[in-house]
Amino acid sequence: MTRPSRAVVVARREVLTAFETPVGWMVLAALPAASAAFFFVLGPFFAIGQADLRGFFSNLPWLLSLVGPALTMRSWAEERRSGADELLTTWPLTTSELVVGKFLGAAVVLALALAATGGIVATVALLGDLDAGAVVGGYLGAFLLGTCALAVGEFFSALTRSQVVAWIAAVAVLVALQLVGIAAGAEALPEAVRAVLLHLSLQTHYQPMTHGVVDLGGVLWLLALTGGFLAATGLVLEARREG
Amino acid sequence: MSSRAAADSAAASAVVVRDLVKRFGSVTAVDGVSFSVAESSVTALLGPNGAGKTTLIRVLTGYLLPDSGSVRVAGVDVLADPLEARRRIGYLPENNPLPLELPVDDFLRFAAGARGLRGAAARDAVHRVVERVGLAEVWRKPIGACSKGYRQRVGLAQALLGEPELLFLDEPTNGLDPLQVVEMRKLVRELGSEHTVLLTSHVLPEVAALAERALLVHRGRLVADQDLVAAEDAEATLEGLFLDLMREEVAAS
């Protein structure tokens, strides 16, 4: 059972905590700064001489794989290390309200960080005509992929007392979930395996969105992955009560 | 006792524990414990460190699941309906794990929200518990900047939010200075007239001063059940029980 109002209480506390500790501010500064650096300075943007955001959107999955887990690595590892989970889990809140609440709080910070990259989009828009559909699709894809990164981060946070361990494990899984797409290009592999690898890859479902093509199957896959990791987080927390 | 009579006595009891067992791997932390606690009383679980008191409290609050046995609090089965049970329990865990970076009022507002209180109702509830435990002075301070005594009161304040019938206090005076101990004991005694209080302690004089009844826990078992109201000298009675226990230990080894 998940009472939305209780999940919102937890989410609100997460958002406030993110900005009371430096994590929220750091993410809010780091995502646009790193995006801009890779896109304008290190990327071929000026060399190509086109008002094209594809470079920006293709960097985002890698950046979100680093930033997403940073927002959720704290959620359970730190509660457990400090013992605060003993209070949270004995208040009249269900496990799903806690898991979803913490996730929603992090998703709000993620949305703010993505919004903060709007300056890059605005700059490019000043230089030439932008494909609005690609921008909307790209941001939708980035948000869905980012929430997936949050869920993976929360899952590993529930498994350990160490935030650093949680972050590294989550980043590893998220990077792997993108590299499988490259592995799918290996011709030595059987066709069926390649198809599965390609479908597993986050990039497969994300890239079309950055061209303005939002495919329902892709959206559902990203949502299912997020939901799956959140459900697994709940199972880990429930299992912990066994002692 | 007939089953009817048993049901009646269970209804009048705020806590009913039956044949509770909790194991961690090969270690049996709680080993077949049964007891019940009357409404609006102060009962102490007394025992040396490592006796299983904290594990017992953690099972009672639903934080840990037992291997077998049953727990009812305020008539609610903790295993069957954990949410309803938690609504009726205020819990001060051992070592009082509070978010130190949060101001006292922000934390209590959060705790009130977790108990389903909103807007004016939440503000009033927080205000009431702040008055009740005496936190007005540190109200806006981060919890980390408060003294140990005040932190313990913050822990007590969150336990009181939502007016739970039961208060489970795990080592409520642990780590406090003598003056803070006196104040905390006064608070607990007052709360005992409005709530059913179950506390743990390894300090004999504390149990003698606070509790109407002491349950002696040793190696995960309940080894004595002592009424302290009827006892002429509560502390001496408890000391006697403890010494008997130690003698048995020595004899057994």
Q: What is the ipTM of this complex?
A: 0.90
Compute the average pLDDT of residues A9-36. 94
Neighbours of B59 (CB within 10 A): 27
Cα distance between residue A150 and residue A143, in whole Å: 10
Chain A interface includes B121 (CB < 8 A)? no
Q: What is the C-alpha to C-alpha distance for residues B121 and A66, in angstroms, rounded to an integer?
A: 41
pLDDT tier, B7 (very low <50, low <70, confident <90, very high otherwise):
very low
* Band of pLDDT at residue B2, cut at 50, 70 and 90: very low
Cβ of A241 within 8 Å of Cβ of B113? The answer is no
Looking at residue A21, its pLDDT comes to 85
Q: Which residues of B touch A90 (CB under 8 A)?
A: 61-63, 86, 89, 91, 93
Q: Within an 8 Å CB–CB cutoff, is residue A1 touching chain B?
A: yes
Chain B residues near residue A102 by CB distance under 8 angstroms: none
B6, pLDDT greater than 60: no
Q: Does A4 touch chain B (CB under 8 A)?
A: no
Is a pLDDT exceeding 60 seen at residue B207? yes
User: Residue A83 corresponds to which tokens in the numbers above?
Assistant: 């013992």
* Secondary element (H or E) of residue A121: helix A118-127
**Mean pLDDT value across residues B178-200:** 93
Contact between B93 and A86 using a beta-carbon 8 Å cutoff: yes
pLDDT, position B232: 85
Hey, are the CB atoms on B91 and A6 less than 8 Å from each other? no
Query: Which pLDDT belongs to residue A49?
Result: 67
Alpha-carbon distance B81 to B89, whole Å? Answer: 13
What length is written for chain A? 243
Contact state of A83 with B93 under an 8 Å Cβ cutoff:
yes
A215 touches chain B (CB under 8 A): no
Task: Between A198 and B9, name the one with better pLDDT.
Answer: A198
User: Which three-class secondary structure state does DSSP give residue A236?
Assistant: helix
Gap between the Cα atoms of B196 and B13, Å rounded: 10
Interface test with B, best of A87, A102, A240 (most B CBs within 10 A): A87
Instruction: Sort out which chain A residues have CB atoms less than 8 A from B163's CB and list them.
Output: none
Confidence check: pLDDT of B196 > 50: yes
Percent over 90 (pLDDT), chain B: 80
CA distance B117 to chain A (A): 10
**Nearest neighbour of B113 by CB, restricted to A9, A17, A90:** A9
Cα dihedral B211→B214→B216→B220 (10° resolution): -80
Q: What is the DSSP string of A16-75?
A: HHHHHSTHHHHHHHHHHHHHHIIIIIISSHHHHTS---HHHHHHHHHHHHHHHHHHHHHH
Q: Confirm or reject contact between B81 and chain A (CB < 8 A).
A: no
Decide if A243 touches B, using CB distance below 8 A: yes
Mean pLDDT of B107-120: 96
Q: Is B101 on the interface with A (CB under 8 A)?
A: yes
Residue A130 has pLDDT above 90, yes or no: no
Write the pLDDT tens digit of every residue in A167-202.
999 999 999 999 998 888 888 889 899 999 998 999
Check residue B15 and report its DSSP letter: E
3-state secondary structure at position B136: helix
